[in-house]
Amino acid sequence: MAVDIQPACLGLYCGKTLLFKNGSTEIYGECGVCPRGQRTNAQKYCQPCTESPELYDWLYLGFMAMLPLVLHWFFIEWYSGKKSSSAVFQHITALFECTMAAIITLLVSDPVGVLYIHSCRVLMLSDWYTMLYNPSPDYVTTVHCTHEAVYPLYTIVFIYYAFCLVLMMLLRPLLVKKIACGLGKSDRFKSIYAALYFFPILTVLQAVGGGLL
């Protein structure tokens, strides 16, 4: 197999993208950022993410998916208390919202339309924070090679939270307005207001602490 020979790339996450392949001939571009859904291999070539997530990857995704559901249930119970029998319906609605958000997120992820995902294997903690490892060969110019080396474990959580928020805003207000008659007008929507606070907090948690978790 003939491969276009070029100098090695600098930095941990800069790679060469495949530009042309004809039989046994492969031509790669200059060192730079890998496209979404790819990461660099040991030879600094961008390779597609075709592996299946490991057990710990699924446990991590499950944990991040359960956080909004548990918080929904907590605030529904906190603001409903013994004043209303509608809490159980809100609990069921929250479960439905998060379940549907998870299913939709899997369906829109690569490969599209199926309930499983392709991923790149996590090799070290720095894979989650590639923006901190852009090389500066001459200490003046920075080569930007930031990409999702842990694809899709980083962005899929943001997509899931976005779907959770959209489904909550579409379903929960209608339900609460119809069945939460035992609560005052200022109380019946407080669990929804709480979600508008904790979703940004969860987003920051994922953005900053995803790799540590």
Look at residue 173 and tell me whether its pLDDT is greater than 70. yes
Closest CA to 128 of 146, 150, 144: 150
Output the pLDDT for position 189.
81
Cα gap 19→28, rounded to integer Å:
5
Q: For the residues of 117-156, what is the DSSP string, one character each?
A: --BPPP-SGGGG-GGG----TTSSS-------TTTTTTHH
Closest CA to 86 of 165, 175, 173: 175
Cα gap 7→9, rounded to integer Å:
7
Domain ranges of the chain: 14-210
pLDDT, greater one: 185 or 27:
27
Which tokens in the block code for residue 81? 């208390």
User: Of the ranges 42-46, 47-51, 98-102, 171-175, which is most confident?
Assistant: 98-102
Look at residue 187 and tell me whether its pLDDT is greater than 80. no
Helix 155-179 / helix 55-80 crossing angle, nearest 10 deg: 20
Helix, strand, or coil (residue 40) = strand
Which tokens in the block code for residue 114? 């199926």
Output the pLDDT for position 1.
46
> How many separate helices (H) and strands (E) can be counted in the chain?
4, 5
Helix, strand, or coil (residue 184) = coil
Residue 115 · residue 106 · CB < 8 Å: yes
SS3 content of the chain, % helix, strand, coil (to 5): 45, 15, 40
| pLDDT tens sequence across 30-39 | 888 899 999 9
